[in-house]
Chain A
Amino acid sequence: RETFEGHQVLRIVPKNGVQLSLLRNLEEMMEFELDVWKGATRLSSPVDVRVPPHTMQAFKSFLETNEFEYSIMIEDIKAILDAERKQMEFAAR
């Protein structure tokens, strides 16, 4: 079972056309192993991306280099998944 330990979901907001077009190509950036949850649509519309721990630093550097504004939408996916599983088990009991 994939535990998603250390995975985070970042929320990125494109502020100009250049940023928007960069975000539209996220899925092709294989080196970051990203999982695009919510793709780029228009300026100021947030993009959500799951990032594994081993590419986190590189991806954040990429964002900072290109002056993206981002926040951490989900700090620890594993914690949410663990809680979700416990809730299901509790409900089933």
Chain B
Amino acid sequence: LGQPRNTDSFDYANYHTLSEIYSFQDMLVAENPDFVSKIVIGQSYEGRPLNVLKFSTGGSNRPAIWIDTGIHAREWITQASGLWFAKKIVTDYGKDPAITAILNNMDIFLEIATNPDGYYFTHVSNRMWRKTRKPNPGYSCPGVDPNRNWDAGFGLGGSSGYPCSETYRGPSPHSESEVRSIVEFVQSHGNIKAFISIHAYSQMLLYPYGYTTASAKDEAELYALAQKAVNSLTSMYGTRYTYGNIIDTIYQASGGTVDWTYNQGIKYSYTYELRDTGYYGFLLPPNQIIPTAQETWSSLMVLMDHAYKNPY
């Protein structure tokens, strides 16, 4: 009772529990067995599977695009958008020439619940939880900020060494299985060309670096592409974004996801801060989910299309 029978009847305009997200992923795979598969890249600290949906039309180790949502647990609009993206990819393949061309040449990997322990905790105990859930020995405060745990300027300014801080970086780089699993996946794949990590909320599209004021060597191209992607996003509902490198646009943040991916050679490394209506912050009303996902998708298509048309 109350469970959608397929991904057509799934309610994309509402927030969902972790088990509903897992069920959705299984349904999408079952409905599209030749196109969508589920890869379990690891386990969270509490033993939950770290599921990644792979959208592929064939080939072996094709160049790929990675998208993750929900690495910060309380940013519910991101997981909800991830569900919508997954369905959008399936719906548009074969109909929309741009996504069809991309998928005929590249694979897309989508991790919707990147921090499943944290997401579960936001549903049952603390809606405002951001971090992972691994205990910190000697402290009553559990969890690590998984966006400060990467081996890119780890421990520099813009992260905390205090376990009770919301930006606690963890004891060592990649100490969190939720992070380490992505690291191992990216390195073993070896052919990821674009990596997009999605957060909320400040209405920004950002690229490396966050830990240093040094410019990324592809700064000019990354800036121009961000501008183009933001223009596309804004054209849909008028949502205004800022864009630029992380350290100049927000503040210094070390140990961040896309700094690591960029240093691994993934040129098109971007991170989003999704829509902020100005009144709700992390509590964006569910009627904002679909417009947020739609406008974000519009800009994601710009990034993905550019990565496809500019091989390196």
A residues sitting closer than 8 Å to B (CB atoms) are 1-2, 4, 9, 24, 27, 35-41, 48, 50, 73-74, 77, 80-81, 84, 87-88, 91-93
Contact = CB atoms under 8 A, between A and B. Distances in A.
Interface of A is mostly: mixed
Given A2-B128, A81-B127, A84-B15, A9 B166 contact: no
B14 A81 contact: no
B132 to A, nearest CB: 17
A37 B125 contact: no
Contacts of A73: 278-279, 281
Interface residues of B, number: 29
Contacts of A38: 201-202, 276, 281
A84 B280 CA distance: 12
A77 B283 CA distance: 9
Contacts of B285: 84
A35 B129 CA distance: 10
Interface string B269-291: 00000001011111101100000
Contact of B127 (A4, A37, A39, A74): A4
Contact of A80 (B15, B126, B283): B283
Interface of B: 2, 11, 14-17, 124-128, 160, 165-167, 201-202, 249-251, 276, 278-283, 285-286
Contacts of B280: 74, 80
A27 B165 contact: yes
A42 to B, nearest CB: 9
Contacts of A2: 125-128
B281 A40 contact: no
A38 B278 CA distance: 11
A71 to B, nearest CB: 10
A35 B128 contact: yes
Contacts of B286: 84, 87, 91
A1 to B, nearest CB: 6
Interface centre among B125, B127, B160, B278 (most CB of A within 10 A): B127
Given A1-B124, A2-B126, A73-B281, 6 more contacts: A2-B127, A27-B166, A35-B128, A38-B201, A92-B2, A93-B2
